[in-house]
Amino acid sequence: MTDSSARAKVLVVGMDGLRHDLLIRSHATAPVLHGLMAAGAHGSSLLPYGEADGQAEHGPSTSMAYTDSGPGWSSVLTGVWPDRHGVTGNDFAGADYTRYPDFLSRAVSARPTLRTAAVVSWPELVHRGTLGPAIGRRAVHDGESDGYDTADRLVARTAARWLTEDDPDVVFVYFGATDEAGHATGPLSPAYDRALLAQDAHLGRLLDAIGSRRSDPARADEQWTVLVTTDHGHLDAGGHGGDTRAEREVFVVLAGPGAPGGTRLDTPRLVDIAPTVLDRLGIPVDPAWGLPGRALPRPTPPTPEWS
């Protein structure tokens, strides 16, 4: 258990279209992520796909959505599968974010004094309401018009500034360049490696910003939990949407108070992220919310050093 006097804070970082098997082998192109895995815990699972994945606790009881970004990030942020949030493709048709809002909106609804913030390079996450208007600060740097390399760099700059100059309690950050490179040249390409290396450096900048907060006596009691995840994988040739393992495998990296280094998470799912965030903030999950996920476990000792 963490010190009850500590101020719990959470950073969730999304890296679109990042293949788990390639990440595990990519020490040179993801040194920060590998350092975070060594400091904390990580694991992978398969996105449910179709009626064979049936039972409610494992996934939708109806036909699953495409392995696309709209359904994937909706599941990450709302904590429910597409049979509840309603998003089955990147057109966001059928979205029910009123009944199933994102975890930042749930957090601030439960505790209005919380400072919530989100910054993304895929504009749809804000424009379609996946990240709702209850969030205190929302920023978009448009990867579709400006290119994801540029937009991701601006996302990292914005998030690092918030983490350094402000006092956010829950932050969601989205990077999209890996997915863009996967579509353009496939995930086995040098371009994909370069995109991953850049995103990894962006993550390092955010962890450095959190680390620098510890030198401020006013922030010495902060306890940060960091989660990193993806929404889907990619075929070797590039692209996704189907039911192969390369497309369906997703991962969660978790570091924070009480996470011993290098441990394995038991099949963490995208819908586990929302209840984990709420758990770390000390916000009970109301059964009426219908969240099928579970809070990922908090092992004992020590707080990792990221910087």
What is the residue-wise DSSP string for the chain? ---TTSEEEEEEEEETT--HHHHHH-TTT-HHHHHHHHHSEEEEEE---SGGG-STTTS-SSPPPPSSHHHHHHHHHHSS-HHHH---STT-TT--TTTS--HHHHHHHH-TT--EEEEESSTHHHHTSSS-TTSSEEEE--HHHH-HHHHHHHHHHHHHHHHHHS--SEEEEEE-HHHHHHHHH-TTSHHHHHHHHHHHHHHHHHHHHHHHHTTSGGGTTEEEEEEEE-S----TTS---S-SHHHHEEEEEEESTT--TTEEPSS--GGGHHHHHHHHTT-PPPGGG-----PPP--SS-PPP--
| pLDDT greater than 80 at residue 51 | no
HSE-CB for 57 with a 13 A CA cutoff: 2
Is 30 a residue whose pLDDT tops 90? Answer: yes
Please report which confidence band the pLDDT of residue 60 belongs to, taking 50, 70 and 90 as the band edges: very low
Residue 32 pLDDT: 97
Q: Residue 306 pLDDT > 60, yes or no? A: no
pLDDT value at position 260?
64
pLDDT band at 259 (very low <50, low <70, confident <90, very high): low
Q: Is the Cα torsion angle 197, 202, 207, 213 positive or negative in sign?
A: positive
* Res 102: pLDDT: 98
pLDDT over 90 for what percent of the chain? 82
| More confidently predicted of 5 and 175 | 175
Query: What pLDDT shows up at residue 214?
Result: 82
pLDDT of 2 strictly over 50: no
pLDDT score at 177: 98
Of residues 28 and 63, the one with the higher pLDDT is 28
pLDDT band at 69 (very low <50, low <70, confident <90, very high): very high
Q: What is the pLDDT of residue 298?
A: 78
Residue 307 pLDDT greater than 50, yes or no: no
Cβ atoms 50, 261 nearer than 8 A: no
pLDDT of residue 265: 93
Strand partners, 44: 251
Mean pLDDT computed over 112-135:
98
Using one digit for the tens of pLDDT, what is the confidence trace for 286-295?
999 999 999 9
pLDDT attached to residue 223: 93
Residue 99 pLDDT exceeds 50: yes
Q: Which amino acid is residue 291, in one-letter code?
A: L
Taking CA 142 as the corner, what is the angle to CA 141 and CA 143, rounded to the nearest 5 degrees?
110
pLDDT tens for each residue of 126-174: 999 999 999 999 999 999 999 999 999 999 999 999 999 999 999 999 9
Residue 185, CB-side half-sphere exposure with 13 Å CA sphere: 11
pLDDT in tens, 191-247: 999 999 999 999 999 999 999 998 888 898 999 999 999 999 999 999 999 999 999
Write down the mean pLDDT value for the chain. Answer: 91
| Confidence grade of residue 78 (pLDDT, cut at 50, 70, 90) | very high
CATH topology of domain 7-244+257-289: Alkaline Phosphatase, subunit A (3.40.720)
Nearest to 147 by CA among 180, 119, 172: 180
